[in-house]
């Protein structure tokens, strides 16, 4: 049915419609992917975790444990590992953020001075560049 309808369209128009239709279909696909992106991210991460955690489960099954017990052991082990990682990294992240907040005013002053030097260089060479917008208000 569709082939008969397409055959009725002259070949010049068919090729002329091909690229706009390809563009519109790609655009609609991009919109669809953007709409379901959070769900896609969750599904991809779940698949990745399932894939990675299947290896220790298979290893424990080869040692003679039942699959349910192996899954529980691996799940608890992964949970303990994530908690240990969080307990290790969170204090360091807080320290780094505090250092950033303490040093930020000094860095802004240094950048201000560098922009002033650059602005003086530009003015000395009479270049038509305005760098006043780069300084901190």
Q: Tens of pLDDT along the chain (137 residues)?
A: 777 877 777 777 777 778 888 899 999 999 998 999 999 899 999 999 999 999 999 999 999 999 999 999 999 999 999 999 999 999 999 999 999 999 999 999 998 899 889 888 988 888 888 777 776 55
Q: Which domain holds residue 113?
A: 36-134
pTM of the model: 0.54
- Measured CA to CA, the distance from residue 9 to residue 16 in angstroms comes to 11
| Domains contained in the chain, number | 1
Secondary structure class of 77 (helix, strand, coil): helix
Contact at 8 Å (CB) between 122 and 131?
A: yes
In a domain, 20, yes or no: no
For residue 104, what pLDDT is reported? Answer: 94
- The angle, 0 to 180 degrees and rounded to 10, between the axes of the packed helices 37-62 and 11-35 is 70
- Measured CA to CA, the distance from residue 107 to residue 105 in angstroms comes to 5
For residue 128, what pLDDT is reported? Answer: 84
- How far, rounded to the nearest angstrom, does the alpha carbon of residue 15 sit from its chain's CA centroid? 37
- Measured CA to CA, the distance from residue 50 to residue 57 in angstroms comes to 10
For residue 135, what pLDDT is reported? Answer: 66
Give residue-wise pLDDT tens across range 4-22. 877 777 777 777 778 888 8
Q: How far is CA 31 from CA 5, 18, 26, 27, 45, in A?
A: 29, 20, 9, 6, 22
In a domain, 94, yes or no: yes
Place of tokens 């290790």: 88
């Amino acid at each position: 049915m569709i082939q008969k309808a397409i055959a009725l369209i002259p070949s010049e128009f068919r090729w002329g419609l091909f690229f706009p239709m390809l563009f519109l279909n790609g655009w609609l696909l991009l919109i669809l992917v953007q709409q379901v992106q959070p769900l896609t991210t969750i599904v991809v991460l779940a698949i990745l975790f399932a894939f990675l955690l299947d290896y220790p489960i298979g290893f424990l099954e080869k040692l003679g444990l039942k699959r349910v017990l192996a899954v529980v052991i691996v799940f608890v082990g992964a949970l303990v590992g994530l908690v240990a990682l969080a307990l290790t990294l969170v204090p360091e992240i807080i320290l780094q953020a505090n250092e950033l907040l303490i040093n930020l005013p000094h860095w802004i002053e240094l950048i201000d001075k560098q922009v002033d030097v650059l602005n003086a260089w530009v003015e000395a060479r009479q270049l038509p560049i305005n760098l006043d917008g780069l300084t901190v208000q």
